[in-house]
Amino acid sequence: MSFVCLLIHFPALWLEDVLNLKYSGKHGYDMRWVGDAFASQGHSTDGSPQFNTSSPIPVPGTLYSISLSLPKYRDFYSFMKFSAFSFLFLVKSASSFSMTATKSYLAEIPMGAPDAILGIADNFKKCTDPNKVNVCVGAYRDENGKPWILPSVREAEKIMMEDPAENKEYASISGDAAYVAQAVKFAYGQDADLSKIAAVQTLSGTGACRVGGQFLANFFPVKKIYIPDPTWGNHINIFEECGLEVVRYRYYNRATNGLNLDGMIEDIKAAPEGAIVLLHACAHNPTGCDPSVEQWKTISDLIKQKNLQVFFDSAYQGFASGDAEADAFALRYFVEQGHNIMLAQSFAKNFGLYGERCGTLSFLTDNADEKERVMSQVKRIIRPMYSSPPVHGSSIVRTVLTNEKLTKQYYEECAFMANRIGSMRTLLAEKLKEAGSTHDWSHVTSQIGMFAYTGKFREETTI
């Protein structure tokens, strides 16, 4: 393509220069020869010969197709020789360019490994078996295996559609302040002191972890974060990308299919003072195994003793017990005990807003001045990362939580989902027993939330 363009444009522009072509509107081009030899006919008022094209040429810089009787003059041979030389030069240059062009760096990009969770989801979509069941992605489904949009969410959208104040303008860097206030109260409690909680809207829980991790990497003195083993797979990627050293602490006992409290305590004790510890606020992903109230208190005492920075990840508030208030126990207890708290919060699961990317990141600060300084630095992280969050999902949450009727309806729907998940656990254990399984499946019914560990090892599983 480059070669063709050069052939078309260069001779045309050269002719414009040598022949002094001047566009004269709808009448075409007037060509005034600049040499000192000219024909004996068609002279203009200034003494130079004038030639007119038989049809107009619309755009300068294209290949001219003109029938002319060029005058005999002393440089005509030079003119033709130069034109031929230019043509050969362009052919040779274009040929050399095509032979020596470097291969794009993209040709050397290796194939990346598929995501452990979403890769399975992609394979599920490709499967043509009519009896297929997706037990991988943490998304609630109705009895027909279809996504369920909460009726309270639908009603909130209707209210938004009729509200002339709703628009599609950019949110601020920190997001919709009214939504953020409601989200913070949902997690910390209605009596939370908002003057000491620095909070921003984020791209769901993933974005909250990413922004929070970057904040810790930028400002926290100990660049080491302790996360449970096992945990949500993306935790590791997120915090390593932030530049934090990721260390695992024991959490799940695969022999008993329950919490490994002794191992957890031992590993947290070994952490350096002032390190960061990540805790799942409720409905642990992927084990479904949460500490009891008394175990949470034991964990809190140790973390307070070690002066660790607590980073709660709350993605399932309301899905654990069916009561969003009860599921906030761990977070609120740690606040009461005076811990240094950060919270990544998501509304993907408990509001069914998976694709809306709606969450918050919050910090418990000592005073209003500290809050403002934290906010200023968090906004500096967000601005070059994604600038501002989407507004539709946050507007839904804000509308539900500021409407008394919709709030009550939402809590009922959230309880319905959690209770149905519990009944599905019971049904699964019963059907496995009916199928002749002698394995102890009691842990499936004792676990909570959207995830369950089977207690089976890979060699015991047929794939």
* C-alpha 94, offset from chain centre: 43
Closest-CA residue to 375 (of 189, 194, 168): 194
> At 176, which amino acid appears?
D
Task: Return the sign of the alpha-carbon dihedral for residues 441, 447, 453, 455.
Answer: negative
290 is catalytic: no
Note if 313 is an active site residue.
yes
CB 213, CB 242: distance < 8 Å: yes
What is the rounded distance in angstroms from the CA atom of residue 390 to the CA atom of residue 388?
A: 7
Q: Under a CB-based contact definition with an 8 Å cutoff, are residues 432 and 440 in contact?
A: no
Cα–Cα distance for residue pair 351/332, rounded to 1 Å: 21
SS3 category, 64:
coil
Tokens representing 124 are: 């599920």
Identify whether the C-beta of residue 174 lies closer than 8 Å to the C-beta of residue 200.
yes
Question: What are the angstrom distances between the C-alpha of 144 and each of 133, 140, 294?
Answer: 11, 11, 39
> Out of 33, 176, 232, 441, which one is annotated catalytic?
232
Neighbours of 301 (CB within 10 A): 12
Report d(CA 323, CA 2) in Å as an integer: 67
Query: Among this protein's residues, is 441 annotated catalytic?
Result: no
Compute the distance between CA of residue 379 and CA of residue 362 in angstroms, rounded to an integer. Answer: 12
* DSSP one-letter code for 43: B
Catalytic residue among 290, 313, 327, 371: 313
Catalytic residue among 176, 290, 349, 371: 349
SS3 label, residue 147: strand
Q: How many CA atoms lie within 13 A of 158 on its CB side?
A: 7
Q: Tell me which residues are annotated as active site.
A: 232, 313, 349
